[in-house]
A and B are shown apart, each in its own frame.
Chain A
Amino acid sequence: MLGRHRKEASLCEERDGRIVFHIDMDAFFASVEVMCRPKLRGKPVIVCGKPTTRSVAAAASYEAREYGIRSGMSTVECFRRCPHVVAVEGNPGQYIYVSLELLRIYKEFSTIVEPYSIDEAFVEMTGTRCTWKNCEGVALEIKDRIGRRFPGLTASIGVGPNKLVAKMCGSMEKPDGVTVIRPGGFTEVFGDRPVTDIWGVGDKTSLALSMMGVDTIEELARHPVSMLRRRFGIMGEILHMMGAGRDDTPVTPYYEGMPVKSMGHEHTLPADTWDIAEAEKVLLRLCDQVARRMRKKGYLGNVISMRLRFSDFDSVGRQKKIDFYTDEERTIYKVARELMHRHWRPGHSIRLVGVNCSGLVKVPEAVQVDLFRQKEEVSHRKLLAAVDAIKDKFGESAITRARLVSLNRRMWDAGRRVSEPRFQKMSLGSTERQYHSIMAGFHDNKANVDTRPLPPGLSSSPFDMLRHQDVEDKARR
């Protein structure tokens, strides 16, 4: 599939030249918050986790950036730089909702849309009504559509003959800008810039390049490809192309490309814990979630990994390959728990627990029957099917293990102390992951969730959150 795209793309390039848009939302999380709370307009705003807890700014409005605040900065540091900054707790469901809506807008302009992250997307405009003559106008039209659907949200659009150039020029005029670089115009604009300005070239590569006497993008383009190949292998050729602003990677719509490689969940505990039994409960809940997601999507996996982060932010991640494929939480839990016990450092309190299942394959048509577990397996599958059906109908927390009741209650309580709705409990870090996990559904229009009001206290899947958000939105209006 990718190959076909690449071929088509290069054919188009030869004929009339490809046109790719890179659309990047400006201060996305912060802008969404300001849109929802107009009182905040014009004020320095940061979006973070619970303001009372240790957290970092996930996004900062342009007003806040004037004070030197950047995303990734701790809230304490943000307040030090700007004492009157408004810290808003992140609202993942809201961002996912807006992001999905934005993709719908882009799809009005082209059928080939690749969501690159929650606030960025590539749009292949080749073969649409957009040409090099009117591309600026089309970009303004997209911005206008975004502004009308979500007042106050702005985007910066980069237009280039490929993804690399579009992405690089998109960031030239932020916020609210449109930058066009036509075929052949790359070196003129970027030639004198350092190689680190190339999308995907980091400190290590630039250091290695610098030792070869390559500092600017133009120097990279002129450097003999054979020498680059000798130093970087296959990456050398890619670097050489990048230096000249050439890139033939296709814009890959989500539903076609990127097969799912792994499924996992992580959870930052409400408070660090020394109690491994407590961490085990969280692990079990995560295993339940991962296994359910795998069953829902029809995958089996055979590599199970576990991650622990300790209070000093030191992390340990270990994985184990098992001899068979599974989508059952009991197996995932058994392996993950063993890994957790082996790699837990007694005396270190645990901050985060994560579990992940990879080595995924689609559920085969035939299932191997077991000599000793045949009856038990059949009844266990029935149990899982029943639990899944209940969760599908009544929400993720409609049914839980007796062992996890206390854990869930504690977490619900922690959620209730904050006046905002339940979905705020989720950490901001997981937003992107959830977003990706529902993307496939979006393209099948599965994310068109029904908007019946939920019984209070029932929601934890991204789908539920969207539904919840819709209800919230209506209430607000």
Chain B
Amino acid sequence: MSKHIPPKHIPPKQSPQAIRAEALESILIEKGLLSSEAVDEVITRYSERIGPMNGARLVAKAWVDAEFKKLLLDDATSIVEEFDFEGGQVEKLVVVENTDNVHNAVVCTLCSCYPWAVLGLPPKWYKDPAYRSRIVREPRELLSEMGVKLDDHVEINIWDSSAEIRYMVLPMQPGGSEDLNEEQLASLVTRDSMIGVELLGS
């Protein structure tokens, strides 16, 4: 049994399943079985943990394999194509490395361009006008507020994403993790560290 479904312009909200799902959620909430916050939380958790796994794999491999790291920093687009991450459509990707002397952070000042092929869905704050303007205007102060305390000698570079080019930060490997294998290392890499608004192991 194969149904032919014509191309449709029904807004998602209008589909019968969408209405049914909404009805189900409202009933379950009324019965005290769940809250909409709990549902939100699950969705957020999955987008924070599962989405950035591709990026985390690249970072972990770069930490253990100097040759790979060089390739990644030289031409991340090709590397990502080789990895053949599902989700297709890889824009030009540039990976920038954090060091003891340089800290990088990513923004999209115009809208919310984001390296989703490696980081999944962008967090809400990434789209926030406050982040988008302050990270450019007063990066050191904003980063400090977000928990990234940098010494005065550390140079800060802010990378403005666009439709054509996306950036990802290669964070510094946290101290004490030298004995971990690549997979264990990947699990240490957070989404925020690859945006440049978190220092690992701090």
Do A and B belong to a common assembly? Answer: no
B-binding residues in A (CB < 8 A) = none
